[in-house]
Structure 1
Amino acid sequence: MVSPPARAWMLQTMPNPEPRPIRPADVGELHEMVRELADFEKIGHLVKSSPGDLADAIFGQRLLEALVIDRPGGDGLAAFALFYRNFSSFTGKPGLWLEDLYVRPDFRGTGFGKSLFTAFIDTARQRGCGRAEWSVLDWNQPAVDFYRAHGGELMPDWRICRITFKD
């Protein structure tokens, strides 16, 4: 973690974050951050994916897309957003589902999350999507507040259900 004085200096001198599409060389670190996110959500034991799985989904099968933000100075990644296409039978249009948005702790409050979320929403609009959707854990109040502040509507009557298939 960055010390408070160093963090204050970093925030004052940091350029505006610019999301960019992921590159194959980023996949290993992306997977590390997926594990960090799962640990934060207290479900790290559920991560079964490998960097190869992510690389195949993004660059092979093209099932998944990723935007990343580099750390200032270019020494690795600071944040990512993973999303994929879906379809709404109600709107009759495709949509985008934001699977994960993660900002490493040292870079929270820097605008990186806002920049990634805005890029995700802009991508959905540019593609003519009827919806952009995501889920948020009800106990993660900072994330709930973040999404509400950026126009997200929490759907109180909806809950996500899941069946997990065992290997």
Structure 2
Amino acid sequence: MIRTAKPEDVPAIVAMIRELAAYEKAEHEAEATEGHIRRALFCESPAAFAHIAETDGRAEGFALWFLNFSTWRGVHGIYLEDLYVRPEARGRGHGKALLAELARLCAERGYGRLDWSVLDWNTPSIDFYKWLGAVPMDEWTGYRLTGAPLSRLASEAAGPEAAERPV
């Protein structure tokens, strides 16, 4: 069964985030606490959303997503930040069901696309996504600013001359 996440799902979501980080060999990067996830998903105006794959009351997978926007199409889309199914629950259709629910939301709300990223070495997921009909965005390279480079760039905008600088 796929359902919208509830506040009581936060501990399971955080546990699965940690499991996903371990699978992706990046456990040291998973800093989110239950407080972070609870605030992100259940504040007055949430910017992130989650769905749970559940069997007999046990959370076996999750999809955490947020809205993006296509300037070319002029409509929102969904960006799937994380899709994870616990190893013992794989092969039961949870991943497909979570993606199908997000696709349903896109169709129902008039969103133009469903986007996500996958690590190059994660061939089981890549094969699954291709089987669904998803296409890789081979012409695009993702970039990220974090840590010291992000802080350094932010401090440039905070200076008194920032208002005079052209954008």
- Distance in 1 (CA, whole Å) between partners of 2:28 and 2:98 is 27
Q: Which residue of 2 is the match for residue 67 of structure 1?
A: 51
Q: Normalized per residue, which structure has more helix?
A: 2
Q: Report 1 or 2 for greater relative contact order, CA contacts < 8 Å, sequence distance ≥ 6.
A: 1
CA displacement at 1:124 relative to structure 2: 1.2
Match of 2:106 among 118, 124, 133: 124
1:113 to partner: Cα distance: 0.6
Select which of 73, 76, 81 maps to 1:99: 81
RMSD: 1.2
Q: Which 5+ residue runs of structure 1 have no aligned equivalent? A: 1-17
Which residue, out of 116, 122, 138, partners 1:140?
122
Aligned length: 148
TM-score by length of 1: 0.85
**Aligned residue number for residue 115 of structure 1:** 97
Q: Percent identity?
A: 40
> 1: distance between equivalents of 2:113 and 2:59?
28
Residue-by-residue CA offset, 1:33-89 (whole Å, 9 max, x unaligned) = 00100010001100111111111111104111100012x322x31000011001111
Question: Per-residue displacement from partner, 1:82-117 (whole Å, max 9, x unpaired)?
Answer: 110011111111111000100000011110111001
Following superposition, which runs of at least 4 residues in structure 1 exceed 4 angstroms of deviation?
none
The answer to whether structure 1 residue 37 and structure 2 residue 20 are counterparts is yes
The one-character-per-residue Cα deviations of 1:100-140 (angstroms, maximum 9, x if unpaired) are 10000001111011100111111111110111111111110
Which stretches in structure 2 are left out of the alignment for 5+ residues?
152-167
In the alignment, the residues of structure 2 paired with residue 110 and residue 81 of structure 1 have an alpha-carbon distance, to the nearest angstrom, of 16
TM-score normalised by the chain length of structure 2? 0.85
For residues 124 and 78 of structure 2, the distance between their equivalents in structure 1, rounded to whole angstroms, comes to 23
